[in-house]
Amino acid sequence: MKVAVLGAGAIGAYVGASLSRAGADVHLVARGPHLAALRERGVEVRSPRGDFTAHPHATDDPAEIGPVDHVFLGFKANAYAAAGPMVAPLLHERTTIIAAQNGIPWWYFHKLPGPFEGHRIESVDPDGAVTRALPVDRAIGCVVYAATEIESPGVVRHLEGTRFSIGEPGMTVSARCTEFADAMVAGGLKCPVEPDLRCDIWIKLMGNIAFNPLSALTRATMAGICRHAGTRKLVAQMMEETLEVAHRVGCYPEISVEKRLAGAERTGEHKTSTLQDLERGRPMELDVLLAAVVELADLTGAEVPTLRAITAVADLLNQQVVAAS
């Protein structure tokens, strides 16, 4: 099995290293000092489950790789629309695109029976730019439950979790999903193939939609937000509104707000990826987390006043980051 990892950062390099040590033909696409280290020393994974080093091919040019069976996207969703030139050299007629993203994916309504089947969500797929870059028929969804970070160029620190749930937009357990899942399991990861991945998407989004923007606005960790009575209540309100939108589009995640809050609090003094982006002066990934859910609320008539307010202030902060970059 031949796999290309576009955006071989913390998550991408961890997945690529795991697949490589199980025997898959893996190609990492990276840049800068990280790429130089990957070429020289391979991916060094440091993990409480055991350290290991893998030596997949690394490049900054996808054309060097040629067509692959699976493309794993490890970069943020706000870069998807511009990914077409990187993805195109990697495709043959059956290549899948596995998007390890937070939030609402561009393929959400693809093959989803009901009144919104085929509907395009403008905030995550503006003018269809993402669909043109990443055709929905190739898409396999992926919800990441692993936490990793780049400790130094070429070195990935695995903090916790090994689960990467995947699933077809059409809610089938396909051969292409099973093939990729088997390779992930052989590499030491958990990779359940979910008949309906959308429930996983909403359960994870309940946390991301609240903690990611609030952490950027307050500079607080997840545990810090949970300990403060006012922000804890705000998180609960945002989660309740998010669940209402999920129900309006036909998804009913089996988890309570309190259980989701308790799980986030157990994460401890963790900085969300959005806060880390802010601290590094990078644009924040807000459209797929916040704007998409507000857009779905408009589509379905759901009342989401708290989400609208946080979207407004977080968007203003993001505009300032973009202007300064």
Give the residue numbers annotated as catalytic, written as ranges.
204
Cα end-to-end span (Å), the chain: 39
Distance CA 232, CA 126 (A): 33
* Residue owning tokens 């998180």: 235
Q: Is the Cβ–Cβ distance between 13 and 44 less than 8 Å?
A: no
Give, as one character, the DSSP assignment of residue 56. Answer: -
**Distance from chain centroid for Cα 198:** 13
Give, as one character, the DSSP assignment of residue 163. Answer: B
Q: Is 238 helix (H, G, I), strand (E, B) or coil?
A: helix
Tell me the residue ranges of DSSP E strands in 115-229: 139-144, 147-152, 155-160, 164-167
Distance CA 211, CA 272 (A): 7
